[in-house]
């Protein structure tokens, strides 16, 4: 049983007690009066019967002195009785009996009255100890009982309230509401509750919750209103704050252009924003309380539920793309993002989901893919044609070389043909590659080395060791770097092994975020001691220096201790 129900029972018992006490007084007084009247009519000495009335009244009004008063009254009666009857022997038992009846009547009345007062004090103490306000008032506005909590709350004196009219200050609207509620109480519905405002003496407005019970007489007329009330201002403030937060969150959700919704574990939608209404073609009132199958087509609903189950199982955010046939009948693409909503006790209470329309992005991607495919085909065609043109040019130089005996001009034409061949290889690999921006240097260097050995038609055994550590050349670096590697390998083949029938050429390459590092070395005779790479008259070395330092903005360093080693550092292209 709640505190308020308990207080109502206390109040009812208290008022019932008051009525019982009044009834007892009336009954006892009536009996005493009738007994005295009977004594007057039937006895020559009715004094004892008259004395019972004051004894009863004094014992009732002053119960703690009732026994003393009845004893004094009885002894006085006995003394007067003996004087009147001159000590007649037959009157002695009768006098003792009458005095005993007087003392006994006073004692019984005092005992009963003290019990009533103790019970009344107990009920009053219980009522006054309650933290809730307990009070009763008659239909005319006279308050019959108020407890201490009532007096403290309204800052009034109990003596000035009980038995008087008292009207707490309230807004006019609240007064009308209370009067309407009091009029609506009837024997079939005697109890109702109301929340209303009161204006405190300091001007502050507080909220009070009242539970009012009407007490009816035998004619079904209201005798009294018994009320239990408590201050609910803090609760109302919390409710107002909660409403403000709900309104804020709702307004915030509606400002989000993407659809947002919340569903519980049973799959029922509990809230959504205006964008979700537009997506589904339903109003919020038609969405809340329904499951996904009642909102979307079966295929779409099954898709949403399938991913919801993944979110609930993994208890973490999930993102996925899906198609939706919108309320306008058109197909739209959405990126869904969902995460579990954790309630009290860290238990999953539902799922919060949002959907970003990516139809325009998907269409742009398709257009971009289409355009990219077209450009890739076109670029591959360009590489193919350039490679073919370079191959034709290379063949023309080869035909020209057929009419020239080996010597100075033959060697120069062969060097030119090798340079053209190195560029043609780049275009051929780009044409064959899946990428149009990068080539694999490991494949390119191995192919270039084989072509150079073939073009020189040498009987010497020259081995190649090529390691590139998985590097990739960007297109802006690949062609000039290929020409440099072609020149340096050509020099090693032509001059490093003049006194031997074998040799080894090594190409090592690696990179970091900013640079390519290339090392080309041979185990041949090495460069002449008077060789100066900054002052060289050969076309090949001038070409290497210009490409590395000016075109690629890199550095090249010669090491010629055991054989020849070229250390090259090339910055990666930022284009």
CA 443, CA 429: separation in Å to the nearest integer?
Answer: 9
Q: Give CA separation, 277 vs 250, 258, 259, 269, 337, in Å.
A: 13, 11, 8, 12, 18
Strands 438-439 and 348-357 come out as unpaired
Residue 535 has φ and ψ, to the nearest 5°, of -135, 75
| Dist CA 465 CA 448 (whole Å) | 13
Of 442, 397, 404, which Cα lies nearest the Cα of 419?
397
> Is the CB of residue 215 less than 8 Å from the CB of residue 16?
no
Q: Between β-strands 502-511 and 461-467, what pairing exists: parallel, antiparallel or unpaired?
A: parallel
99, 105, 107, 108 alpha-carbon torsion, rounded to 10°? 150
The residues pairing with 464 across neighbouring beta strands, listed in sequence order, are: 505
Rounded CA-CA distance 65/86 in Å is 31
Tokens of 286: 């038609």
Q: What are phi and psi of 384, to 5 degrees?
A: -65, -45
CA angle, 211 as apex, 210 and 215 as ends, to 5°?
Answer: 125
Q: What are the average pLDDT values for consecutive 10-residue runs of the chain, which has 575 residues?
A: 46 49 55 51 50 63 64 64 56 62 70 72 73 89 90 88 89 92 92 92 88 91 92 88 84 85 87 86 88 82 84 84 70 84 79 84 80 63 63 68 70 72 66 68 82 73 88 81 83 82 90 90 84 76 84 86 87 74
This model's pTM is above 0.75: no
| CA–CA gap between residue 441 and residue 471 (Å, rounded) | 7
Which helix (H) or strand (E) segment holds residue 303: the answer is helix 298-314
Q: Round the CA-based radius of gyration of the chain to a whole number and report it.
A: 57
């Amino acid at each position: 049983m709640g505190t308020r129900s308990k207080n109502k029972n206390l109040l009812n018992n208290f008022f019932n007690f008051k009525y019982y006490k009044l009834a007892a007084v009336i009954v006892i007084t009536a009996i005493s009066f009738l007994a005295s009247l009977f004594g007057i009519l039937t006895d020559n000495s009715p004094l004892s019967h008259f004395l019972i009335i004051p004894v009863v009244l004094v014992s009732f009004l002053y119960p703690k002195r009732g026994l003393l008063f009845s004893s004094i009254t009885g002894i006085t009666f006995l003394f007067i009785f003996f004087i009147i009857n001159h000590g007649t022997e037959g009157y002695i038992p009768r006098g003792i009996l009458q005095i005993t009846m007087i003392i006994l009547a006073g004692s019984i009345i005092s005992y009963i009255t003290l019990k009533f007062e103790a019970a009344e004090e107990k009920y009053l103490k219980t009522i006054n100890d309650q933290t809730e306000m307990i009070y009763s008032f008659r239909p005319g506005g006279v308050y019959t009982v108020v407890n201490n909590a009532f007096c403290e709350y309204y800052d009034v004196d109990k003596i000035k309230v009980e038995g008087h009219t008292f009207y707490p200050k309230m807004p006019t609207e609240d007064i009308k509401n209370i009067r309407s509620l009091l009029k609506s109480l009837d024997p079939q519905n005697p109890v109702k509750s109301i929340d209303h405002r009161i204006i405190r003496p300091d001007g502050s407005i507080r909220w009070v919750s009242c539970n009012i019970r009407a007490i009816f007489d035998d004619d079904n007329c209201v005798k009294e209103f018994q009320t239990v009330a408590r201050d609910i201002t803090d609760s109302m403030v919390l409710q107002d704050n909660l409403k403000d937060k709900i309104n804020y969150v709702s307004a915030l959700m509606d400002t989000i252009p993407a659809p947002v919704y919340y569903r519980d574990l049973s799959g029922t939608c509990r809230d959504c924003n205006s964008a979700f209404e537009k997506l589904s073609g339903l109003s919020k009132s038609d969405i809340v309380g329904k499951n996904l199958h009642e909102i979307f087509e079966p295929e779409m609903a099954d898709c949403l539920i399938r991913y919801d189950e993944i979110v609930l199982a993994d208890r973490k955010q999930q993102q996925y793309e899906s198609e939706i046939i919108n309320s306008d009948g058109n197909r739209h693409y959405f990126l869904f993002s969902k995460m579990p909503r954790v309630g009290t006790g860290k238990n999953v209470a539902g799922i919060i989901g949002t959907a970003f329309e990516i139809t325009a992005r998907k269409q742009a991607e398709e257009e971009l893919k289409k355009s990219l495919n077209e450009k890739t085909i076109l670029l591959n065609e360009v590489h193919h044609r350039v490679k073919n043109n370079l191959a034709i040019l290379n063949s023309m130089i080869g035909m020209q070389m057929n009419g020239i005996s080996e010597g100075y001009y033959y060697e120069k034409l062969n060097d030119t043909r090798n340079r053209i061949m190195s560029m043609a290889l780049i275009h051929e690999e780009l044409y064959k590659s899946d990428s149009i921006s990068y080539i694999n240097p490991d494949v390119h260097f191995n192919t270039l080395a084989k072509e150079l050995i073939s073009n020189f038609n040498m009987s010497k055994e020259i081995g190649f060791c090529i390691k590139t550590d998985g590097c990739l050349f960007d297109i802006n670096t690949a062609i000039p770097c290929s020409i440099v590697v072609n020149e340096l390998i050509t020099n090693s083949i032509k001059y490093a092994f003049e006194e031997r029938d074998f040799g080894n050429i090594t190409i090592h390459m690696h990179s970091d975020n900013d640079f390519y590092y290339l090392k080309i070395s041979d185990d041949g005779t090495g460069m002449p001691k008077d060789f100066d790479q900054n002052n060289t008259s050969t076309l090949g070395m001038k070409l290497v220096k210009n490409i590395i330092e000016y075109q690629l903005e890199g550095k090249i360093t010669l090491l010629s201790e055991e054989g020849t080693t070229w250390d090259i550092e090339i910055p990666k292209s930022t284009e």
